[in-house]
Structure 1
């Protein structure tokens, strides 16, 4: 059997459980599958939290688990994948070989266009921190015509897919005022770019040192999350209230910002980096008919829309740093320090 290089997670825990292997079995295309030679794979919070087992379980929030429950080890992580189709299985058009592709990392509950995600490459199946990965042919989106680099394409699936899902589920439209929390992170910066692209007025919560980059991404105003009353700062920029919050942070921001949302507004949330357990006044929710929306990743329809934007260069992901595969521990350490803006990408020979 042919072998390849791969970064293999052997158990929940620290970076020491992430092993670089040169003898990992190279996947073979099954029926309806393609083999993608990985050129770039970006990092996400999902990679760190899955390694650490930080998702908890229903009834046991401290349990070690992946985002959908227990993880089977060993596991090749990496849900953000850009590369070239190297081989196809039976039932797949051989013309796909050589095509430049981005992989949709989601597994869906059924075959409909709006089915919810129920699994993820790099979590429920092996992902892209390797030289090759096997995926369903319909997960590989042809990006041969895209002007974006391999690193930029790899930045799209999880972060921009999640952001697209949030904006679609919250029905964000032109002219609305939207607060984006965690605006300098992968999903946050994607939200700023995508919401601005659809004509929304973005007020972005970030640190003072990253404000210029966030404004350059499209935010009309930035709020320094470390400088006093967050709600009062937002109110200065939108005294009549806001239409929606696109939230990747959770924590105290919910209680602070909920009173600012106008009647029939929306709060869409896809993360909890500022705290997963929150306390807020439910009266601010139901008395004003506010929609509280949980959003996990994207649908097939959302992802196809995102890929259309990437083919014509309408979005330009920002790359903060690039590492080779054998530098994945250092890459995750930089990611963990949260001093970067944009995506950290693993490039693979």
Structure 2
């Protein structure tokens, strides 16, 4: 490992010690600083954005034994049968076992301070934004994910993290590290949802969970494409989402969300549904889509198991897309939007590393618009 500056042996970090509630997060100041292996760089973390994947993994919500919605209570206490919440549980997107303790945090921005073998030392000093998806590009395009930052390998809720050099993208921007940390995970997921659904100029898109990290990204990226945006979120968030550019708003508390959307679109119907919530609205989503419409999903926090009327899918010639692994090209396109100033970072609040438990407690309440960010 090539160093041009002194790197400490120990660092501050938050360790996830097992599946369960907030109490499984342990703040430490004596965690060994990782070393950059061959083909890797060591990043001094400037900021790390928070995402639902942090909660999903900690609570064991990814496990196939868990079918409940990701409520505030689940987010605080853990999901499913606590007797099964052990290290033998498959708790990641890839349905693999987690090695505890684990450092979570996928959305990393920082500075390269050291490099491993086979990495040019000129990278030291670069300000970078990290793509959290570690891929094997020899695999089929939609099956390249081999590890996720903060899941199968340690992430950014620490002072330092080691990542593959190809995942660390140099960034030139006037935005702060905290502002830049709002983009990874949320915006590349949103972009992939819209790329796959081929959302085009003049089309109408319905966005569920529009006030969250992926939701606000979907709003902005849909507007860049020239689409008409119908945002669904909690009633208290209407003003802020319209200020972000949403053309129409439907409160999720509305007893007839589908009817409210039908009143907006009329006979033309909806071209694309971008869904990060799942739950009972899934069935209505397919009924709202026009013939040849597209449904794209990257989340199911309101409940993953839902009925489907196959006649909607068949007779309307619909297309359904599930998104877990955005491509490198998708991440690069987000970097381009950021560099050109086309995306607005939305930070609700920043937290110190030692206050990560408080930050996750706030995240599961879902009162925010945009992102919560941890600044070590």
TM-score (norm 2): 0.89
Number of the residue aligned with 2:70? none
1:345 aligns with 2:352: no
For structure 1, the residue ranges without an aligned partner over 5 or more in a row are: none
Report the number of matched residues: 346
* Contact preservation (8 Å) 1:34, 1:89: yes
TM-score (norm 1): 0.95
* One of 314, 318, 328 as aligned partner of 1:290: 318
* Contact preservation (8 Å) 1:185, 1:341: yes
For structure 2, the residue ranges without an aligned partner over 5 or more in a row are: 1-7, 68-79
| Distance (Å, rounded) in 1 between the aligned partners of 2:168 and 2:251 | 39
Change (3 A) 1:211 1:175: same
* Contact preservation (8 Å) 1:20, 1:326: yes
Number of the residue aligned with 2:235? 208
* Contact preservation (8 Å) 2:273, 2:295: yes
Which of 125-134 and 149-158 deviates more?
Answer: 149-158
Equivalences for residues 1-349 of structure 1 within 5 A: 2-57=9-64, 64=89, 65-69=91-95, 70-111=97-138, 114=141, 116-143=144-171, 145-239=172-266, 240-348=268-376
Number of the residue aligned with 2:76? none
Q: Deviations over 1:272-293 (max 9, x none)?
A: 0111110131101110100011
| Distance (Å, rounded) in 2 between the aligned partners of 1:111 and 1:18 | 36
Q: Deviations over 1:277-330 (max 9, x none)?
A: 101311011101000111114111110111111112210120000000000000
| Distance (Å, rounded) in 2 between the aligned partners of 1:241 and 1:122 | 40
Secondary structure of 2:250's aligned partner: strand
| Distance (Å, rounded) in 1 between the aligned partners of 2:158 and 2:324 | 25
1:94 offset after TM fit, Å? 1.6
The alignment's C-alpha RMSD in Å is: 1.6
1:227 offset after TM fit, Å? 1.7
Secondary structure of 2:330's aligned partner: helix
Which of 126-135 and 297-306 deviates more?
Answer: 297-306
Change (3 A) 1:253 1:123: same
1:91 offset after TM fit, Å? 1.8
| Distance (Å, rounded) in 2 between the aligned partners of 1:14 and 1:254 | 28
Change (3 A) 1:136 1:165: same
Secondary structure of 1:92's aligned partner: coil
Secondary structure of 2:356's aligned partner: helix
* Contact preservation (8 Å) 2:128, 2:170: yes
